[in-house]
Amino acid sequence: MRIWIHKINANLHRYMALPAILLFGLFFLYPLAQGIGISLTDSNGMTTPNFVGLQNFIDFFADDRARNDVRITILFALGSAPLLNLFGLLYALFLDRGLPGKGFVRAVVYLPAVISPLIMGYVWYFILQPERGYLAHVLKEIGLGFLDVNWLGESSSALVVLIAVNVWQYVGMTMIVYLAGLQGIPADLYEAATIDGASRWGALRYVTLPLLYPAIKINVVTNIIGSLSVFEIIVALTDGGPGYATESLSIYILRMLYGSFTGYSTAVALILFLIILIPVVLFLRITRKSEYEL
Amino acid sequence: MNRRLISWLMCAVLVIMLVAGCSSTGSSTAGNTSNGENAAAANDTNVTNNTNDSATNEQKEEVTLKFFTGKVETIDLINELITKFEAEHPHIKVEQEYQKDASNVIKVKFASGDVPDITTVYAQDYVDQGKYLDLSNEAFWARVLPAIKELNTDIKTGKQFRVATNVTMAGIFYNKQVFEELGLKEAATWEEFKSNLQTIKDAKPEMTPMFLAGKDSWTLGHLIEFMAHGVIKQKHGVTDARKAFINNESDKLEFDAAGGGIEAFAGRLLELKEAGLINKDALTATYDNQKEAFASGQSALFSQGMWVLGDLLKLNPDMAGNIGFAPFPAIVDGTEPVVLSAEDSVYAITSESEHPEEAKLFLEFLFQPENLKAYSEFLKSPPAFTDVSADWGPLKDQAAAALETGVNIAFTETPSGFSGDDAGRMVQELLAGKYASSGDFAAAYKEAWDKAWSATNK
């Protein structure tokens, strides 16, 4: 008996992992396996599904609309993720100094991030709507009515607007992570660098950025995931339009699911999972060697 | 040893989860299917069970009915009626759930087993899968207009699985004052229609001749449903056209035919765009913008259904005498103008409902003449029940005149994977210049329709 208790005590930390494994299995592995199963069928959610092998995946790559949505999703991420990091870092570096009113600026920059992206999208829609939006009224008032362009009605400009609104909304989130990283860097390292003759740029290059690696990692990974799975902002601002010009893969998945293409939409969901997973894993592998340990 | 044992145990848990996930895919879906396939049989069982239920109903067991609706405009009124119903039947509670995207959300509800008892959502796919209760033998049919009963009759089985309480119409709403001022008449042909718009543009440059609400893609989808499909519907008549849409009879639908309804529609719409006769923000304007522009006199006409009337009068009550209503002009030479005259406010009871008798009781309550009168006057929509007399709105006489002059057409029964929203998004693409010609648009439309039809008719 005593031996058993001793054994349990000795392995308690391992048993404690069981609930997590069970939950992981229940909420990730089980749905994933079920998803893989459905993606190999022509299920429409109602009638008996037939096994179709990899046909859904073949159809995906043969479908112009799907390929366009992959392009839009990747372009959106390529625009959003770097800008979010760049502006987030610049804001953090700027606000990390002892400037008056920095708390207020921090709150203002962060505020949009706590508001629902759907609401934010609609607010920007009311601002940018041509002829009847707030921007159109202001431009008309100051005699620049000719600049009132239908930004959301043109395929190319609509995507730029979507990226800009996304960056504006989430730059605060990125900034906060960088600020936390900056505040974790000991001041004596800067003192040492100054004594060694490092300029401001040198301190940033050789002290700040290397020690910010953990924050950079978090921000880049979360921004890649967030940007590649974008949904709400597009729904509110353009609803994927005009036509399908700004439709992201997430929206495509939902529409296919509702459109009775359950098996196909599940296959697309798995493809999106891979599209997100590959850059994240690549980034983590590349940066693993470069990370400095304090 | 222990470590190895625990590792094996954990691996086993993960493998079991994975295998369980894979194996249950087929069985759960098959389960759903067999439910659907046997639904007709289940209907009978349900009815029998519920006859027993009502026999023992003296115990007045507490029952909760789930009412699922996609009609935003009637939420408050239905809630009022529910309160009245619950006061008369204290043992029945009715919970109303509204979803903007109801026609799609119900798909998830059917698949997940969270099935409502009563719904306003009806689609042929669900009829085919036995999702609705057969209402053919209900007493209220004797009170329903024959034309509406016919529209409520399932083409394949000849039974009625839904009942509509009202009649709706759709056509061209126009500003009567502007028409009178410029000496314009309701257009019967496309040339007359375009000429009217051009006259408005020339005489009133600050006014938008015709307003499109492209961001709400269903409004563009309606243009196809009424104007483009109107060509097919008038050629084959109400019943044959319904059969052609439901069975995808391509020889009758002729979606990609040169000079057919779809190609003609695409060409006509592009003509309006090129001539600057529609709003510049046709792709990004909303349904609300459309109503506001008309009610404030910024636009002269737009295409909509009678459901818009209540909102127009709310926005500008003084406009009541100034709203005109006309049929859609003929878009193909040699055809007639058309006007939608179809069922509105449809109710169906699901075959999986555990309380069909109570659900029927609720419908009977809704169909009481005083409740239908209140409903019709609130919705500004004519009742479909012959024993209900309602003063439903200022367009009563004009609607009657439009029904006389235009060929009466019904809604299109689209495959569930190709909704009005989907068709509307194709019209957005057309306006955005994606298609090189109207023929390309017609071909793409046929391809999208066929793909969706095949997905649900395996």
pLDDT band at B380 (very low <50, low <70, confident <90, very high): confident
| Average of per-residue pLDDT across B21-28 | 44
Q: Which residues in chain B are closer than 8 Å to A17, comparing Cβ atoms?
A: 10
Predicted pLDDT of residue A287 = 81
Min Cα separation A258/chain B (Å): 5
By percentage, how much of chain A surpasses pLDDT 90?
Answer: 65
Given B18, B418, B428, which is nearest A33 (Cβ)?
B18
Predicted pLDDT of residue B57 = 47
3-state secondary structure of A76: helix
- A36, closest residue in chain B (CA to CA): B22
Domains B3-14+61-168+343-394 and B169-342+399-456 share a fold: yes
Boundaries of every domain in chain B: 3-14+61-168+343-394, 169-342+399-456
pLDDT tens, A18-42? 899 999 999 999 999 999 999 999 9
Min Cα separation B87/chain A (Å): 38
Residue B10, pLDDT > 70, answer no
Given A25, A37, A238, which is nearest B17 (Cβ)?
A25
Min Cα separation B223/chain A (Å): 15
| Average of per-residue pLDDT across B170-193 | 97
pLDDT band at B13 (very low <50, low <70, confident <90, very high): low
Question: Residue B109 is encoded by which pair of tokens?
Answer: 């509800």
Please, which residues bridge with residue B349 across strands?
Answer: B118
Could you tell me which of B339, B336, B335, B314 has the C-alpha nearest to residue B325?
B339
What CATH number was assigned to the domain covering residues B3-14+61-168+343-394?
Answer: 3.40.190.10
Predicted pLDDT of residue B54 = 46
Question: Residue B412 is encoded by which pair of tokens?
Answer: 């299109």
Predicted pLDDT of residue B11 = 65
Residue B182, pLDDT > 80, answer yes
Min Cα separation A173/chain B (Å): 30
Residue B32, pLDDT > 50, answer no
Tell me what ipTM this predicted complex has: 0.80
Residue B87, pLDDT > 80, answer yes
Given A25, A31, A49, which is nearest B13 (Cβ)?
A25
Q: Which residues in chain A are closer than 8 Å to B33, comparing Cβ atoms?
A: 46-48
Q: Which residues in chain B are closer than 8 Å to A13, comparing Cβ atoms?
A: none
Could you tell me which of A31, A38, A24, A16 has the C-alpha nearest to residue B13?
A24
Given A42, A131, A244, which is nearest B281 (Cβ)?
A131
Interchain proximity A47–B458, CB inside 8 Å = yes
Interchain proximity B432–A259, CB inside 8 Å = no
Residue B430, pLDDT > 60, answer yes
- A14, closest residue in chain B (CA to CA): B6
| Average of per-residue pLDDT across B6-12 | 67
- A150, closest residue in chain B (CA to CA): B281
Show the 3-state SS of A228-249. HCCCHHHHHHCCCCCCCCCCCH
Interchain proximity B281–A130, CB inside 8 Å = yes
Most distant CA pair in chain B: distance in Å? 97
By percentage, how much of chain A surpasses pLDDT 70?
Answer: 97
Residue B370, pLDDT > 90, answer yes
Question: Residue B309 is encoded by which pair of tokens?
Answer: 């009337």
Given B17, B280, B415, which is nearest A131 (Cβ)?
B280
| DSSP symbols for A142-178 | TT-GGG---TTTSHHHHHHHHHHHHHHHHHHHHHHHH
- B458, closest residue in chain A (CA to CA): A47
Q: Which residues of B75-98 are buried (b: 16+ CB within 10 A; e: fewer)?
A: eebbeebbeebeeebeebebebeb
Residue labelled with tokens 């992992």: A17
What are the residues whose beta carbons fall under 8 Å from the beta carbon of A257, sequence distance 6 or more? Answer: A45, A265, A266
The H or E element containing residue A104 is helix A102-110
**3-state DSSP helix/strand/coil % of chain A, to nearest 5:** 75, 0, 25
Interchain proximity B10–A21, CB inside 8 Å = yes
Half-sphere exposure (CA, 13 Å, Cβ side) for B8? Answer: 5
How many whole angstroms separate alpha carbon B268 and alpha carbon B231?
A: 14
Q: Which residues in chain A are closer than 8 Å to B429, comparing Cβ atoms?
A: 242-245
Predicted pLDDT of residue B3 = 65
Interchain proximity B18–A29, CB inside 8 Å = yes
- B216, closest residue in chain A (CA to CA): A239
pLDDT tens, B36-58? 333 333 344 344 444 444 444 45
Q: Best interface-test mutation with B: which of A44, A125, A140, A152 has the largest number of B CBs within 10 A?
A: A44
Interchain proximity A47–B3, CB inside 8 Å = no
Q: Which residues in chain B are closer than 8 Å to A20, comparing Cβ atoms?
A: none
Predicted pLDDT of residue A48 = 84
How many whole angstroms separate alpha carbon B175 and alpha carbon B180?
A: 9
Q: Which residues in chain B are closer than 8 Å to A38, comparing Cβ atoms?
A: 25, 29
Min Cα separation B39/chain A (Å): 12
Average pLDDT, chain B: 88
Predicted pLDDT of residue B415 = 86
Could you tell me which of B39, B238, B278, B38 has the C-alpha nearest to residue B146?
B238
Average pLDDT, chain A: 90
Interchain proximity A129–B125, CB inside 8 Å = no
Cα R_g (chain A), whole angstroms: 24
**Distances B450 to B114, B234, B430 between C-alpha atoms, Å:** 30, 22, 19
CB pairs under 8 A between A and B: 156
Could you tell me which of A132, A229, A144 has the C-alpha nearest to residue B215?
A132
Residues B300, B174: contact at Cβ < 8 Å? yes
Burial class of B203 by CB neighbour count within 10 A (0 to 12, 13 to 18, 19+): middle
How many whole angstroms separate alpha carbon B390 and alpha carbon B380?
A: 9
Number of Cβ within 10 Å of residue B236's Cβ equals: 17
Half-sphere exposure (CA, 13 Å, Cβ side) for B345? Answer: 26
Min Cα separation B102/chain A (Å): 11
To the nearest 10 degrees (0 to 180), the angle between helices B356-366 and B369-379 is: 70
pLDDT band at A130 (very low <50, low <70, confident <90, very high): confident
Predicted pLDDT of residue A3 = 74
Q: Best interface-test mutation with A: which of B29, B298, B352 has the largest number of A CBs within 10 A?
A: B29
**Distances B125 to A55, B93, B417 between C-alpha atoms, Å:** 24, 29, 10
Q: Which residues in chain A are closer than 8 Å to B280, comparing Cβ atoms?
A: 130-131, 150
pLDDT band at A101 (very low <50, low <70, confident <90, very high): confident
Interchain proximity B14–A131, CB inside 8 Å = no
Residues A189, B323: contact at Cβ < 8 Å? no
Architecture category of domain B169-342+399-456 in CATH: 3-Layer(aba) Sandwich (3.40)
Q: Best interface-test mutation with B: which of A3, A13, A46 has the largest number of B CBs within 10 A?
A: A46
**Distances B22 to A36, A145, B29, B301 between C-alpha atoms, Å:** 8, 60, 12, 56
Q: Best interface-test mutation with A: which of B1, B25, B447 has the largest number of A CBs within 10 A?
A: B25
Predicted pLDDT of residue A123 = 94
Predicted pLDDT of residue A8 = 76
Residue B151, pLDDT > 60, answer yes
Lowest-confidence pick of B31-45, B233-247, B294-308: B31-45
How many whole angstroms separate alpha carbon B401 and alpha carbon B395?
A: 10
Please, which residues bridge with residue B326 across strands?
Answer: B172
What are the residues whose beta carbons fall under 8 Å from the beta carbon of B434, sequence distance 6 or more? Answer: A243
By percentage, how much of chain B surpasses pLDDT 70?
Answer: 87
Min Cα separation B118/chain A (Å): 19
Predicted pLDDT of residue A286 = 85
3-state secondary structure of A56: helix
Most distant CA pair in chain A: distance in Å? 89
